[in-house]
């Protein structure tokens, strides 16, 4: 917990300087890696990865590299998704909420102390986001800047990473969702971060193909495309929140229960979300707009 606090303070300070003086991309990356390094050197690391029929324990070098890369990706993914009022805070609150449910239930199942580092960091992150949202939803009276978005990404990453060091992977078994439950520590972070990471990957590919550096800003992020489809600002944010909730909480429900009814419900929700997302395009085509 102390490592997360100190490293979080470092990355927040880096963000403050960037908000005030517009640091170069290399300076921001250096600050992010410094914060990740502080966390790693104090034990916040990925210790194991579940694979078919086995659990792979990572050596120190692999563990350090993988952890730094994951923190770096999460920090920049949340930073990039912070493009509409209330979007980043809502997405992080939803993702942290889903992970808190998983971490708490798993701690209960394995008879651990409920207040694990993962649980405490995620519930604190939820509180930060919910407290901030009334001032940040459209039209915003307060903005988080890089100091806020990078900190939220860092907290989300370290909470998920810290869980791997506090749980015995051999005990994540068939009491809940069977095989899926064993892979949930690997799959859930992908579901929680699906929207921001997808935006990050698309931005990297798009900018590289255009001959630009990956950190050069443009107006083609997912939230920009939602507005181009004809959604209003609040509706675009609400739909992106919906996608995040379906992916994150849906994966928790499927992984912990394995119930076909839950799977069907999640699929139905995704279909409805897809319909609501693409309906403006059909309406435009129908009216000739």
Structure confidence by residue, pLDDT tens digits, 216-262: 777 778 888 888 888 888 999 999 999 999 999 998 888 778 788 99
Q: Would you place residue 179 in the very low, low, confident or very high pLDDT band (cuts 50, 70, 90)?
A: very low
DSSP symbols for 201-246: HHHHHHHHHTT--TTS--S-SHHHHHHHTT--HHHHHHHHHHHHHH
Residue 125 has pLDDT above 50, yes or no: yes
| Least-confidence region, from 43-47, 54-58, 170-174, 184-188 | 170-174
Would you place residue 206 in the very low, low, confident or very high pLDDT band (cuts 50, 70, 90)?
A: confident
pLDDT band at 171 (very low <50, low <70, confident <90, very high): low
Sorted by where each begins, the domain ranges of the chain are: 2-287
Whether residue 282 is predicted with pLDDT greater than 50 in this model: the reply is: yes
Instruction: State the average pLDDT for the chain.
Output: 84
With vertex at residue 246, the alpha carbon angle to CA 244 and CA 252, rounded to the nearest 5 degrees, is 105
Beta carbons within 10 angstroms of residue 270's beta carbon: 15
Residue found by looking up tokens 């929207």 in the block: 195
For residue 287, what pLDDT band results from cuts at 50, 70 and 90? low
Residue corresponding to tokens 């991309």: 25
pLDDT tens digit sequence for 79-108: 888 888 999 999 999 999 998 988 888 777
């Amino acid at each position: 917990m102390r490592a997360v606090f100190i490293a979080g303070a470092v990355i927040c300070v880096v963000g403050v300087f960037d908000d005030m003086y517009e640091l170069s991309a290399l300076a921001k990356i250096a600050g992010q890696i410094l914060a990740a390094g502080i966390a790693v050197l104090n034990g916040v690391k990925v210790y194991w990865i579940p694979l078919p029929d086995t659990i792979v324990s990572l050596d120190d070098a692999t563990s350090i590299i993988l952890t730094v890369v994951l923190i770096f990706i999460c920090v920049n993914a949340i930073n990039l998704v912070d493009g509409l009022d209330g979007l980043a805070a809502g997405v992080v609150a939803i993702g942290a909420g889903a992970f808190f449910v998983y971490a708490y239930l798993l701690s209960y199942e394995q008879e651990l102390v409920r207040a694990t580092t993962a649980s405490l960091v995620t519930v604190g992150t939820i509180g930060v986001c919910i407290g901030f949202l009334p001032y940040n939803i459209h039209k915003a009276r307060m903005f988080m800047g890089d100091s806020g978005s990078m900190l939220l990404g860092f907290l989300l990453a370290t909470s998920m990473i810290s869980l791997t060091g506090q749980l015995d992977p051999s005990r994540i078994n068939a009491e809940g969702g069977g095989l899926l439950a064993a892979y949930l520590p690997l799959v859930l972070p992908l579901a929680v971060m699906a929207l921001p990471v997808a935006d990050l990957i698309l931005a990297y590919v798009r900018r590289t193909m255009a001959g630009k550096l990956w950190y050069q800003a443009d107006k083609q992020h997912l939230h920009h495309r939602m507005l181009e489809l004809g959604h209003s600002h609040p509706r675009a944010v609400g739909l992106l929140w919906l996608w995040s909730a379906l992916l994150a909480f849906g994966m928790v429900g499927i992984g912990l229960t394995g119930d076909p009814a839950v799977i069907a419900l999640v699929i139905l929700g995704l279909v409805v979300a897809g319909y609501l997302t693409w309906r403006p395009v059909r309406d435009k085509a129908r009216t000739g707009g």
